[in-house]
Amino acid sequence: MIVEPDCDIENAAQRIVTGAFAHAGQVCIKVQRVFAHDQVAAQLMKRLVELTETIGVGDPTHEEVICGPLVSEDAALRIEAWVNEARTQGANVICGGERDGQFYRPTWLTDVHEEAKVCCNEVFGPVGVFFRYQDFEAALHAVNASEYGLQCGVFTGSLPKAMQAFELLEVGAVIINDIPTFRVDHMPYGGVKASGLGREGPRYVIEEYTEPRLLALKPR
């Protein structure tokens, strides 16, 4: 997730929190890494924490609950271990960072080492890492510095930067002015690098199940 200073910061913050913590972050296209421009990073981080601290955590059958339990206590223990590892490497826990049985509090981390598991592996839980940047192209390269490439969201009011992101990002889809969690069934959904091969979606699945045949007619 990349956030430029010319976007609607309140909208970006609300969407990012939803993308990071809905379903306890157990979504392959959840928001995990957020790159915010220096001009808006402090404002965005403050709003992310405010919104995160209002999230309902508990029984997901309750309407107000966004962040439910992890699929198992082992999953919660793994996330706890990854966050603790990041802490020992110098990361700061801005909010959350606590486990209660099968639940893990929605968590934001800053100053995360690039090789920490919460940064370079798929957390698949309610943890987000926050970075600042000054140069847009450098942020694009930072997104690409991953073995994964499923989807990336970019909040920007600049069409040239939107097109630059589309050209340079090594992902299956670039979502402009929304989170990478955006998906509709008829779009070609899938990633590159370690995020897999091929695309989902009705048309693309039909192609996977179709065996092309060729008839070549040559004149006598």
Looking at the domain assignment, is residue 188 inside a domain?
yes
The rounded percent of the chain whose pLDDT value lies above 70 is 100
For residue 171, the SS3 value is coil
- Residues 162-192: pLDDT tens digits? 999 999 999 999 999 999 999 998 899 999 9
Looking at the domain assignment, is residue 220 inside a domain?
no
For 10, the domain range is 2-208
* Torsions phi, psi for 135 (to 5 deg): -115, 130
Nearest to 14 by CA among 175, 183, 187, 177: 177
- Residues 47-69: pLDDT tens digits? 999 999 999 899 989 988 999 99
Q: What is the DSSP letter of 161?
A: H
**pTM exceeds 0.85 for this model:** yes
Are the beta carbons of 210 and 203 closer than 8 angstroms? no
For residue 47, the SS3 value is helix
Mean of per-residue pLDDT scores for the chain: 96
Looking at the domain assignment, is residue 216 inside a domain?
no
| CA–CA distances in Å: residue 38 to residues 127, 136, 139 | 22, 11, 11
Q: Report the first-to-last Cα separation within the chain, whole angstroms.
A: 60
- Domain with residue 99: its CATH number is 3.40.309.10
What is the band of 208 on the pLDDT scale with cuts at 50, 70, 90? Answer: confident
- Residues 84-131: pLDDT tens digits? 999 999 999 999 999 999 999 999 999 999 999 999 999 999 999 999
Looking at the domain assignment, is residue 137 inside a domain?
yes
Residue 205 is predicted with a pLDDT of 87
Residue 142 is predicted with a pLDDT of 97
Residue 64 is predicted with a pLDDT of 87
What domain count does the chain have?
A: 1
